[in-house]
Amino acid sequence: MAEAAYLASIPKAPTYYSPFGKNKGKLEERKNTVLKKMFDLGYINKEQYDNTKTEVVTFNTAAQNSIKAPHFVFYILDYLQQKYGQDVMEHGGYTITTTLDYDLQKKAEDIIKEKSLANEKAYKASNSALLAVDPTNGQILSMVGSRDYFDKTIDGAYNVVTAKRQPGSSFKPFVYAAGFQKGYTPETTLFDVATQFSTTCDTDPKSCYAPDDFDGLFKGPLSVRSALAESRNVPAVKMLYLVGLDDALAMAKNLGITGLGDKSRYGLSLVLGGGEVSLLDMTTAYGVFATGGIKNTTTGILSVKDRQGTVVEEFQSTPTQVLEKNVALQITDILSDTKASAPTFGGLLAVPGTAAKTGTTNDNKDAWVMGYTPTVVVGVWSGNNDNRPMSKGSTISVPAWKAFMQEVLKKYPTTAFEKPLPDPDYATLKPVLRGQWMGNKSVWVDKVTGMLATENTPPEARVEKIITDVQDILYWVNKSNPRGPIPTNPYADPQFSLWNSGVQKWWQQNSSKYSVITQADLPTGYETIHTNENKPNLSITGLPTELRSSDKTTISITNSNQYPITSIDIFINNTYITTLSNPFRFVFNPKEYGYTPGVYTLKAVATNTIYETNNKEQQFTITQ
């Protein structure tokens, strides 16, 4: 009877209600509706109804490997049914061309199965999923919804790519992106110290919230770059507060995260992955970082043609700028900085030319790696379909991600990520936004003389001296306007006392490790050494006005100024050639450097011991 009820339920929408698709729960509901109708109409009694409703029915899947890319196939069928309806699905005779790269798909399936079986044995993680998308157009290249579609022991037909799971720390880049957009910088200092975030913890212990990290350590003052690259939790929670829940949720939605819903469901733990998202949405969102802020709708369809061959749907790229380009480049610059992530991950995420972020839920139920190049985004999830915890976190997804990404790079060679532009207001930012956390009042001092710097002091000779006044960032910035005036009353912010308490305890324990600077330690006079008279005074010898391309000549550069030269950069027609050290000469052969007959200009740019620079040019002609 239960089997008959399932069979009666399926014809209304065979793809949607397929026991092998993602809506098995909806099929169960419809089967129970059929049974209830039979009971109401008197065809079965109450005992039959109750017993049949709870009966477990086994669905025999198609033969092993009888469907190519099965999760992707049912994903496409589900999309087509929703758009064109069941009648068209059954009788339309449509021809569908998809975006799938089947060679890459086979490699993805093999890698996921191999690594997932290893994870099950070692870490009690029975399943994994993978999605690869071309972020420049949103086309799906590979989709593996489980380690084996035909494996009943893990409900392998279930497509984890479209399922909602908690993303852990892989959500953090969205919050930091919102922070950069608001005016914070990658150099902004956030204190990684023990912090109680609940303002009602004293009166309501259940409300207490004091997150820690996987290693149980706190690292003190950290730049945002280090905090994100090392995936530290306390700075991330602080950034979410500085950004605000509304702006963080809006950022995630703009990038492609759907279904987070009402903000009342979340608190500061959102940044640590407190919401539920799909691997499909996460891959779309990380694609925005890969493309410099441009979002493309993720799709698996290239074309749909009816039985007459008429195109009824055709892929069209729909790029939309949803994030400031430089913000996207800043996030990528951090996620591709393996040196910054090394204190936590070592070289674990190091695949040349890629950026990557891991994510783990607190109870080790979900393990993520999201990574990308400018042309491919790859997301991998590992865990158990029934939400049983694993014995290890996000790093168990890394081997599959790395192995697949290396295959991707063979077929889709990448280019270097574009570097973010420098902040035009950087020099005038508050010290804490520039990574200077020991105070806010500062002066610039000349390194050569120890006196106050002037407008003539070269940038290389300037060093900032800050009067020591260690406070939390909320002492120096209004969270809604970080580049605006300093708060007149930081205690008006309900989080300031909580944050600053942790900072002051840290400073009491660690102040002896730092040099304390008072007003009395600062110079009062200005330096006078940096003048035009003290710039290098250069002469070039050994370069004739004419020479043949086969000639060799030794060129020497000398300095008549009292301050010795430390280095000289040589340029020919403004193209860098070499850097000279004492004795500042080099052998020049035009042919060896690839120069053909013509008129050229050699320029020597010298720097001396007081950081002053000057240059000297000399024109010469190369003959046949």
Q: Is residue 469 within 8 Å of 486, Cβ to Cβ? A: no
pLDDT digits (tens, 9 = 90+) for 533-544: 999 999 999 999
> Which of left, alpha, beta for 438 (phi over 0: left; psi -120 to 50: alpha)?
alpha
pLDDT digits (tens, 9 = 90+) for 9-25: 988 888 778 887 778 88
- E strands present in 214-361: 220-223, 277-278, 294-295, 301-305, 311-314, 320-321, 355-360
For 201-213, what is the mean pLDDT? 91
**Which H or E run contains 517?**
none
Q: Which residues are CB-contacts of 497 (< 8 A; sequence separation ≥ 6)? A: 491
The pLDDT value given to residue 294: 98
Least confident of 78-92, 269-283, 289-303: 78-92
Q: Mean pLDDT over all residues of the chain?
A: 93
Q: What is the DSSP string of 374-388?
A: SS-EEEEEEE-TT-P
Per residue, what are the HEC states of 400-450?
HHHHHHHHHHHHCCCCCCCCCCCCCCHHHCCHHHHCCCCCCCEEEEECCCC
Q: What is the DSSP string of 132-199?
A: EEETTTTEEEEEE-SS-TT-GGGTTTS-GGGSEE--GGGGHHHHHHHHHHHT--TT-EEEES-----T
Per-residue exposure over 155-186, b if at least 16 CB sit within 10 Å of its own CB, e if not: ebbbbbbbbebbbbbbbbbbbbbbbbbbbbbb
Closest CA to 131 of 319, 274, 257, 281: 281
The CA-CA-CA angle for residues 273, 405, 123, to 5°, reads 55
| Residue type for position 403 | A
Q: Is residue 362 within 8 Å of 413, Cβ to Cβ? A: no
The Cα 322–Cα 133 span in angstroms is 18
For 139-160, what is the mean pLDDT? 93
**Residue 583, preceding bond cis, omega within 30 degrees?**
yes
Of the chain, the percentage scoring pLDDT greater than 90 comes to 82
The pLDDT value given to residue 392: 79
DSSP state, residue 12: G
Whether the predicted pLDDT of 64 surpasses 70: no
Question: Maximum Cα–Cα distance for the chain, whole Å?
Answer: 112
The Cα 383–Cα 496 span in angstroms is 38
pLDDT digits (tens, 9 = 90+) for 243-284: 999 999 999 999 999 988 778 888 888 888 888 999 999 999
The Cα 297–Cα 316 span in angstroms is 10
The pLDDT value given to residue 407: 95
| Residue type for position 539 | S
For 536-561, what is the mean pLDDT? 95
The Cα 167–Cα 402 span in angstroms is 19
The pLDDT value given to residue 65: 64
**Which H or E run contains 71?**
helix 70-84
Q: What is the DSSP string of 558-571?
A: EE-SSSPEEEEEEE
Of the chain, the percentage scoring pLDDT greater than 70 comes to 99
Whether the predicted pLDDT of 63 surpasses 70: no
Using CB atoms within 10 Å of the CB of residue 110, give its burial: 0 to 12 exposed, 13 to 18 middle, 19+ buried.
middle
Report the side by side order of strands in the sheet with 377-383: 139-144, 127-134, 377-383, 366-372, 355-360
The Cα 518–Cα 504 span in angstroms is 18
Q: Is residue 128 within 8 Å of 367, Cβ to Cβ? A: no
In whole angstroms, how far apart are CA 38 and each of 42, 49, 346, 475? 6, 8, 62, 69
Whether the predicted pLDDT of 92 surpasses 90: no
The pTM of this model reads 0.84
For 420-447, what is the mean pLDDT? 94
The pLDDT value given to residue 61: 63
Whether the predicted pLDDT of 462 surpasses 90: yes
In angstroms, how far is CA 198 from the centroid of its own chain? 29
The pLDDT value given to residue 39: 95
Q: Is residue 412 within 8 Å of 373, Cβ to Cβ? A: yes
| Residue type for position 323 | L
For 78-107, what is the mean pLDDT? 90
Confidence of residue 344 (pLDDT cuts 50, 70, 90): confident
Q: Is residue 593 within 8 Å of 600, Cβ to Cβ? A: no
For 619-623, what is the mean pLDDT? 95
List the structure tokens of 40.
Answer: 């109401």
| Residue type for position 558 | T
List the structure tokens of 296.
Answer: 């493309």
Q: Which residues pair with 534 in a beta bridge?
A: none
Confidence of residue 413 (pLDDT cuts 50, 70, 90): confident
